[in-house]
Amino acid sequence: MSLNTFGHLFRVTTWGESHGPALGATVDGCPPGVAVDEAFLQTFLDKRRPGQSKFTTQRKEADAVKILSGVFEGQTTGTPVQLMIENTDQRSKDYGDIAQTFRPGHADITYHQKYGIRDYRGGGRSSARETAARVAAGGLARAALRHLAPGLEIKGYMTRMGEVAIDRERIDWAEIDRNDFFLPDAKAVPDWEAYLQDIRKAQNSVGAEIEVVCRGAPAGLGAPVYGKLDTDLASAMMSINAVKGVEIGEGMAAARLKGTDNADEIFMGADGPEYSSNHAGGILGGISTGQDIVVRFAVKPTSSILTPRKSIRMDGSATEVVTKGRHDPCVGIRAVPVGEAMMACVILDHLLLHRGQVGDGPRGVIG
C-alpha cells in the first residue's frame, strides 16, 4: 500500500489537514548517523511558506517544524523521524460557506463522493498545505544525501508561467533564490512580475511549468521495471497538488523526434562514459546514467479564483462559486520547493535501495 506513503526504503507518510491542529511527515528508513536539526529543515520550509511575497497567499503560517522522534543529540538514530508542523492561522470562518458547495476544479466533490464525509475547511486533506510535510521530509532527505553523496545538488526553478517562459540559454542556478519566482534568469524577473500582476488584477490565475534537476547522482540508481527512477519521479511529481503532466528529458516532445536526433551518443571520458547530449534526461531503462537527472512538471492554474464559476451544492441545486479565501494567483511558484523535496526523497530512496540490492562493492566498470 502507498496511500499516504511513498518510497521503498526511505518511506515518507504524510498526515494532517489544512485546518486541523497540525500536519506532518512520519519518515521511516532514514539512515542512522545523519546530522540534522530543526533549523536546517526550516530553511526549506521557509522557501515554501505562504506570505513570502505579494504573489503567494497571505495566509500567515510560521510553518515551524518540530522533530519529535528519531533524532538524538543532533543525529538520526535509524528510528522513525516524526516531523510536525502546527497550524496556527486557520481562520476556518473563511471556509464556512463551502461546507455545502463544491468548488469547480477542486477535490471537494470527489472527496465527498468517495468518502461521504470531508473536512471542508480549506480543502482539508486535499489542500496544498499537505506539501509542507513533504518539504520537511525533503529537508531530511537532503541532510542524508549531504552525508551519503556529498557533491550531489538538487535544484528546481520555473520554466514557464502561462505565456512567459525562460530562455534556456540563460539558465543560471545562482539566480534562483534571489527572486520571488525561483527564476534562473535575473533578467526575466520584471516581465514575469508584470505578467502575474495582470493575471491577479483580472481576478484570474495561471498555470506553470517547473523543472527539477539533480546533478552529481551516480550511475546505477533505479530498480527496473516498476521501480524505475523515472517511474518513481513521475509518481512523486504527479502526486503534488494540481500537477497534470510529468516529463523526463525530452518529455512529450519525444513523440515528435526521429531516432537520429534523439539518441545521446556515448564517448569515453577521463572519469567514465560521457554523452553528446541529454535527451534522455539522465535515465536509460529506468537507471541513472550519471548525467543530470531532469524532470519537468506542469501545474494547473489555481482553481480558486475571484471570477464566478458555475457549480452545484450538496443537495444538487445550482450555484456560482467565487473563492474569497487567500489564494495564490500561481500555485506553481510554491511548487518549486515541493518538487525539489520530492526529487531529494526519490534520489535518497534509490541510493539506499541500490545499496541494499547491489551493495557498495565493485559493480560494472567500463574501460
- Residue ranges for the known binding site for NADP(+) are 48, 54
Binding window for its own copies (CB under 8 A); candidates: 12-20, 55-63, 138-146, 177-185: 12-20
Q: By CB under 8 A, is residue 5 in contact with its own copies?
A: yes
Q: Which of 42, 52, 79, 90 binds its own copies (CB under 8 A)?
A: 79
Q: Which of 175, 185, 247, 340 binds its own copies (CB under 8 A)?
A: 247
Q: 119: Cβ–Cβ under 8 A, 6 or more apart, which residues?
A: 17, 18, 19, 20, 125
352 Cα distance to chain centroid: 20
Whether the Cβ atoms of residue 184 and residue 135 lie closer than 8 Å to each other: no
Whether the Cβ atoms of residue 207 and residue 332 lie closer than 8 Å to each other: yes
Phi-psi region of 285 (alpha: psi -120 to 50; beta: other; left: phi over 0): left
Is the CB of 194 or the CB of 266 nearer to its own copies?
Answer: 266
Range 263-282, binding its own copies (CB under 8 A): 263-268, 273, 276, 279-281
Q: By CB under 8 A, is residue 28 in contact with its own copies?
A: yes
Is the CB of 190 or the CB of 268 nearer to its own copies?
Answer: 268
- State in angstroms the smallest separation of the CB of 134 from its own copies: 9
Is the CB of 57 or the CB of 302 nearer to its own copies?
Answer: 302
Binding window for its own copies (CB under 8 A); candidates: 38-46, 105-113, 166-174, 183-191: 105-113
Q: Which of 288, 337, 340, 347 binds its own copies (CB under 8 A)?
A: 288
Q: Which of 194, 252, 322, 324 binds its own copies (CB under 8 A)?
A: 252
Binding window for its own copies (CB under 8 A); candidates: 36-44, 55-63, 68-76, 135-143: 68-76
Is the CB of 154 or the CB of 352 nearer to its own copies?
Answer: 352
Binding site listing for FMN: 125-127, 241-242, 285, 300-304, 326
Q: 294: Cβ–Cβ under 8 A, 6 or more apart, which residues?
A: 211, 212, 213, 248, 249, 278, 281, 282
d(CA 3, CA 302): 24
- State in angstroms the smallest separation of the CB of 164 from its own copies: 10
- State in angstroms the smallest separation of the CB of 174 from its own copies: 24
HSE of 270, CA atoms in CB hemisphere, 13 A:
0
Q: By CB under 8 A, is residue 8 in contact with its own copies?
A: yes
- Provide the Cα torsion 314, 318, 323, 328; round to 10°: 90
Is the CB of 116 or the CB of 151 nearer to its own copies?
Answer: 116
- State in angstroms the smallest separation of the CB of 199 from its own copies: 7
Q: 334: Cβ–Cβ under 8 A, 6 or more apart, which residues?
A: 48, 50, 56, 128, 131, 328
Whether the Cβ atoms of residue 274 and residue 292 lie closer than 8 Å to each other: no
HSE of 185, CA atoms in CB hemisphere, 13 A:
17
Phi-psi region of 96 (alpha: psi -120 to 50; beta: other; left: phi over 0): alpha
Binding site listing: 48, 54, 125-127, 241-242, 285, 300-304, 326
Q: Which of 52, 90, 235, 278 binds its own copies (CB under 8 A)?
A: 235
216 Cα distance to chain centroid: 20
Q: What is the DSSP letter of 249?
A: T
